[in-house]
Amino acid sequence: MIYPIVKYPDPVLARKADPVTEFDADLQKLVDDMFESMYAAEGIGLAAPQIGVSKRLFIVDTSLGKDPAKKLALINPEIVSTEGKQLEEEGCLSLPDIRDKVSRAFHVTMRAQNATGEWFETDGDELLARAFQHENDHLDGVLFIDRVSRLKRELILRRIGRLQKKGEW
Ligand code: NI
């Protein structure tokens, strides 16, 4: 099932999500639906709050569905360690057509549970590290526009306000 993507300023995007406690068929279905929804929206990452589910899980696939080995579902994820810095343009399915440069760690090691509840560690750099940090932020109610300068954030919010007035948001 393809879920519609929740857009800013829906309050679910600002909430701290709850831990996942049940590792059952419903969770596997949610993960499968999230992949379907993310591919339909042509994203490389999707956090559960973005489909209106305030739970601590996200998925990433930097290959956009081309390489099954790149499909990752991280449940109750934690950032274990970070290294270095990168400054690149970032976007978000919940903020369509908004892009800005965001400073992130270059390399990130994550710890998370899989859909059957087993803990694992995974790491990545560059784009994958950026996706890990961006999606992990969603679980704490943080958007990438909260990580740019105050002036840039205000410009972005004004632009969204104008689009809302025109009915284009
Ligand atoms: Ni996002």
C-alpha 48/C-alpha 44 separation (Å) is 14
Distances (CA, A) of 81 to 16, 59, 130, 154, 165: 21, 19, 13, 31, 42
Q: Is the peptide bond before 11 cis (omega within 30 degrees of 0)?
A: no
**Considering only CA atoms, which of 22, 25, 29 is closest in space to residue 51?**
29
Q: What confidence score (pLDDT) does residue 73 get?
A: 98
Model pLDDT for residues 61-96, shown as the tens digit of each residue? 999 999 999 999 999 999 999 999 999 999 999 999
Q: Give the confidence band of 150 by pLDDT, cuts at 50, 70, 90.
A: very high
Distance 139 CA to ligand 1 centre (A): 10
Q: What is the pLDDT of residue 164?
A: 95
Taking the centre of ligand 1 as the mean of its atom positions, its distance from the CA of residue 166, in whole angstroms, is 24
Residue 16 phi/psi, 5° resolution?
A: -80, 120
Instruction: Tally DSSP H helices, then E strands, for the chain.
Output: 3, 7
Q: Active site includes 126? A: no
Give the pLDDT score at 135. 98
- Whole-number mean pLDDT of the chain? 97
Span between the terminal Cα atoms of the chain, in Å: 24
Looking up tokens 């990452």 gives 45
Active-site entry in 121, 126, 135, 168:
135
Alpha carbon of 25 to ligand 1 centroid (Å): 26
The whole-model pTM stands at: 0.97
Which residues touch 45 (CB under 8 Å, ≥6 apart)? 38, 58, 59, 60, 61, 131, 134, 135
Structure tokens at 72: 């990752």
Check: CB of residue 109 under 8 Å from CB of residue 121.
yes
Residue type, 28: Q
What are 9-32's pLDDT values in tens digits? 999 999 999 999 999 999 999 999
Domains detected in the chain: 11-165 (3.90.45.10)
Q: Give the pairing type, strands 72-83 and 57-60.
A: antiparallel
